[in-house]
Amino acid sequence: MNKLLQVNNLSVSFFSHENEVEAVRNVSFEVHKGETVGIVGESGSGKSVTARTIMRLLPSPPSMVKNGEVLFNGQNLAFKSDKEMESIRGKDIGMIFQDPMSSLNPTMRIGKQIEESLIKHQKLNKKEARKEAIAMLKMVGIPNSEARYMQYPHEFSGGMRQRVMIAIALACRPSLLIADEPTTALDVTIQAQILNQMKELQQKLGTAIILITHDLGVVAGMCDRVVVMKDGEIVETGTTEEIFASPKHPYTLKLLNALPRLDEKKKPKQAPNIVIEKDDVPLLQVRSLKQHFDLGKGQIIKAVNDISFEIKAGETLGVVGESGSGKSTTGRAILRLNEATGGEVLYKGIPLQQLNRSEMKVMRRHMGMIFQDPYASLNPRQRIVDIIGEALDVHKLAGSKQERQRRVEELLEMVGLNASHALRYPHEFSGGQRQRIGIARTLAVEPEFIVCDEPLSALDVSIQAQIVKLLEDLQQKLGLTYLFIAHDLSMVKHISDRVAVMYKGKIVELAESEELYANPIHPYTQSLLAAIPIPDPKVEAKKKLVPLQDNSHPDPYGLEQSSFVQVNEGHWVAMAAN
């Protein structure tokens, strides 16, 4: 097999006025024509720095390649001029970046951004480039590609922007594609489609791929060989089968064991340490909840469209579905962060929509929310002691300054931090630590019910496992009740007692977690489960995707005229009316 890329003893450092940070140390690996090499590791392991060094995209200063070489088709890219690299980037080596919004030009139409490389490298005229750009948009699954060609990045969702990035990277059919977390912003079904398309292109053109990811399920299904990085170094490398079947390094084993697998049985839930009062009335009742948004000119978005469910005290109800399904809007409507269009929410039998502002303020002591983005939800100008203490001040739960300080320190210790963290600012913490701070703030008012809105999406796999363990421990210790919103169905299965599947504002299936995963009935649920990657190469090789129905149809599953029927005890499914 011919070597397309060879990285030898690569070391990269970043310099500041005070010190040197060795981001990559003596990294060596190779990529052969037509193969896929996965680079895995947590944030800060050096994956993206290695990729950007190959592409010569790191600013110098503050970065510096201290030693090593990058050989592409026998040529050392380290000695190429900037002009020579311009002729290689896009044409011979393509790159899919992790954050599509910061990588796309907000002032240029999407079509023009795809055309740039086609005109520069393929020497196409404007008419040919337009035709090819529209074809690329179709290839990556963007509907109405002719109209979308004329739109700007801000008019696309996060997942759609990532597809545009993939279209740009693949436009010139490069011999090497570097994909830096290419599916992070995508739902599982879209992720499966994109990865499938990358495989097809690879088979057709013989393109080699470097896949940088933290999702070991994606690695199992996509990669021929795996490189495991930690703290800037390669700690293990081997074929995908070798790495998954017999990992040698403790860090590799830690990554593999970090998250539960979809095909594993759920562990029994531990009983809470405190006595939960059993009542005939569920803790939370949602009845015919609607949340519509009027966009003007007769356009109404039915984000939540007549849903009903109940949650018992001490229970965890998982809510899953793709972006735009209405999961987060449901959570916000329950807490009255958005005023619902219709329906009612009862907490311990009390109708929340009928409470005035002061009454709702008192009720918020019993209900909290953990937000999706652990950085955006924390005030960057406040110290942690004030971020957490603010909730104590609002509800007058701390008498003196000393009592307030003591309570904040107790909360920090409860979530696995310590008292010294109280005087720091949010930017001084990692993503996982910031999420713990967000949890501590939520717990400050001693709530009984918490809406967990995608609390894991911004975190590495091992940090996700820590946060889930923390949430489970807190539930056992404090008797908490959760509405757990997520798109990671593997995690939802293991943390939830029951799972509700949402699609276009409706609940299409609701069942005990083991029952739903073992016997999914609704076609949308089947599609979601089939798309989830399993961290096992043998399982991934045998797996077949369940194709989604035509997404261009406004209601492919007939849910506008569906009925909610019980198919088993506790298992409810929305079935389209005949």
- State the DSSP string of 368-427: EEE-S-TTTTS-TTS-HHHHHHHHHHHTT--SSHHHHHHHHHHHHHHTT--GGGGGS-GG
pLDDT at 549 over 70: no
CA 231, 233, 239, 245 dihedral sign is negative
**Residue 405 clears pLDDT 80, i.e. is over it:** yes
d(CA 555, CA 571): 23
pLDDT of 550: 43
Q: Between these two residues, 566 and 15, which has the higher pLDDT value?
A: 15
Element (H, E) at 14: strand 3-15
pLDDT bracket for residue 347 (50, 70, 90): very high
Q: Are 243 and 40 in contact (CB under 8 A)?
A: no
The pLDDT tens digits of the residues spanning 268-326 come to: 777 776 666 666 689 999 999 999 988 787 888 899 999 999 999 999 999 998 877 89
**Once rounded to an integer, what is the mean pLDDT over residues 397-413?**
91
Work out the percent of the chain whose per-residue pLDDT is above 70: 93
Q: Residue 456 above 60 pLDDT?
A: yes
Mean pLDDT, the chain, as a whole number? Answer: 87
Mean pLDDT of 234-257: 93
Top-confidence range, 143-147, 347-351, 373-377: 347-351
- The model's confidence at residue 227, banded by pLDDT at 50, 70 and 90, is very high
Whether 18 shows a pLDDT value over 90: the answer reads: no
pLDDT tens track for 471-498: 999 999 999 999 999 877 788 888 999 9
> Is the predicted pLDDT of residue 535 greater than 90, yes or no?
no
Average pLDDT over residues 334-357: 94
Residue 557, pLDDT > 60, answer: no
Region 254-267 average pLDDT: 79
Straight-line distance from the first to the last Cα atom of the chain, in angstroms, rounded to the nearest whole number? 56
Query: What's the pLDDT at 438?
Result: 92
pLDDT > 90? residue 203: no
Ranking 299-303, 335-339, 466-470, 553-557 by mean pLDDT, the lowest is 553-557
Nearest alpha carbon to residue 36 among 229, 214, 239: 239
pLDDT beyond 50 at 554: no
- Tokens linked to 225: 């060989």
Mean pLDDT value across residues 259-270: 75
Q: What is the pLDDT of residue 573?
A: 83
Alpha-carbon separation of residue 264 from 244, 257, 363, 381, 491 (angstroms): 16, 12, 39, 44, 11
DSSP string, 543-555: --------TTSS-
Is the pLDDT score of 547 beyond 60? no
pLDDT score at 490: 82
pLDDT for residue 552: 38
Residues with Cβ < 8 Å from 38, sequence gap 6 or more?
211, 212, 213, 218, 219, 222, 223, 225, 226, 227, 240
pLDDT at residue 553 in the model: 39
Percent over 90 (pLDDT), the chain: 49
Residues 361-386 have a mean pLDDT of: 89
**CA-based diameter of the chain, in Å?**
74
Structure tokens at 182: 């290419």
Under 8 Å CB-to-CB from 104, ≥6 apart: which residues?
Answer: 110, 113, 153, 161, 164, 165
Quick: pLDDT tens for 39-65.
999 888 899 899 999 999 988 788 888
What average pLDDT does this structure show over 76-96? 88
Q: What is the pLDDT of residue 397?
A: 86
* pLDDT over 70 at 563, yes or no: no
Residue-wise pLDDT tens digits, 134-164: 998 988 778 889 999 999 998 887 667 878 9
